[in-house]
Amino acid sequence: MPSLDALQWVVLAGALFLVGFSKTGVSGAGTVGIALFALVLPTRQSTGMLLPLLLVGDLAAVLSYRRHADWPRLIRLFPWVALGVVIGAGVVRQVDDTQMRRLLGGILLMIVVVHLWNRRRAPEDSLVHHRSVAALAGVLAGFATMTANAAGPVMTIYLLAAGLPVLGLLGTGAWFFLTVNAFKVPFSVALGLITPSTLLFAALGAPVVLAGAAAGRAVVDRIDRTLFERITLGLTLLAAVRLLF
């Protein structure tokens, strides 16, 4: 277990609440939670501590939105995501925390810029219709989730560009992240990211994640899709800048 002061524990609790809230409410909130974790703990350590808790949130999200998934889109993405996870596992072995943070921040910033540019195009010309873009989104999502548990912005922005409604986005994302995070577990164990101490931390933090998930489920029906998109983009941009600097 990490040795932290009272303020740092409060920050971690707030981060876990945001992680749960992002699974059933506003997806971009999870990116802020991950960034807060990285402020208190080294990136590698925070990655291992968060993964079991992300799975708790994923289960809550699947139970809430299991009927709203776009399965054909998910099936097309999974092979590319698996490739990204394998690449990310190789990178984790080679880089330090600072390099991981800046790499991830650069990826998130690039995604926001591309999404804003893509919105100016006609719907029929959207990049999301190209198979190569789906492949790239899958690889980036797999890479980001393996290196820093941060595939949320990649997938959320990709699904927003695909025109999914809020519930469709949340249902598709719920099944996606449950599957991908479970797929990551053996890699994380092999890299020493998941240990008995991280599992103990997960057991203590799970109620906070579930509280956040309950709060997200309570407000999601009141969220307009345009507002949802703006909040997600704003939080993603904030997290990208924080990771870079």
Q: Which residue has the tokens 């997600």?
A: 232
**Tokens, residue 142:** 């797999």
Q: Which residue has the tokens 């519930």?
A: 167
Torsion 97-156-30-175 (CA) sign: negative
pLDDT of residue 16: 93
Rg, C-alpha atoms of the chain: 17
Q: What is the 8-class DSSP label of residue 130?
A: S
pLDDT of residue 132: 81
pLDDT by residue for the chain (245 residues), tens digit each?
Answer: 567 788 889 989 999 999 999 898 877 777 778 777 777 877 677 778 888 999 999 999 999 998 888 899 889 889 999 999 899 888 888 887 778 778 777 877 877 777 677 677 665 566 666 778 788 888 988 888 887 777 777 787 788 777 788 788 889 989 998 998 898 899 889 888 888 988 998 899 999 999 999 999 998 878 776 777 788 778 778 877 877 87
pLDDT of residue 14: 92
**Tokens, residue 191:** 């890299």
Output the DSSP codes for 92-112.
HHH--HHHHHHHHHHHHHHHH
pLDDT of residue 121: 65
Which of helix, strand or coil describes residue 25?
coil
Q: How many Å apart are CA 28 and CA 7, to the nearest integer? A: 24
Closest by CA to 56, choosing from 165, 173, 177, 152, is: 177
Tell me which H or E stretch contains 76.
helix 71-94
pLDDT of residue 87: 92
Q: How far is CA 35 from the centre of its chain?
A: 11
Which of helix, strand or coil describes residue 220?
helix
Closest by CA to 52, choosing from 190, 195, 152, is: 195
Structural contact between residues 158 and 128, judged by C-beta atoms closer than 8 angstroms: yes
pLDDT of residue 227: 79
Closest by CA to 100, choosing from 63, 140, 159, 147, is: 147
The burial of 88, by beta-carbon neighbours within 10 Å (0-12 exposed, 13-18 middle, 19 or more buried), is given as buried
The pTM of the full predicted model, rounded to 2 decimals, is 0.80
Structural contact between residues 23 and 174, judged by C-beta atoms closer than 8 angstroms: yes
Helices and strands (H, E) in the chain, number of each type: 10, 0
Closest by CA to 138, choosing from 159, 120, 117, is: 159
Q: Which residue has the tokens 């927003």?
A: 160
Tell me which H or E stretch contains 61.
helix 43-65
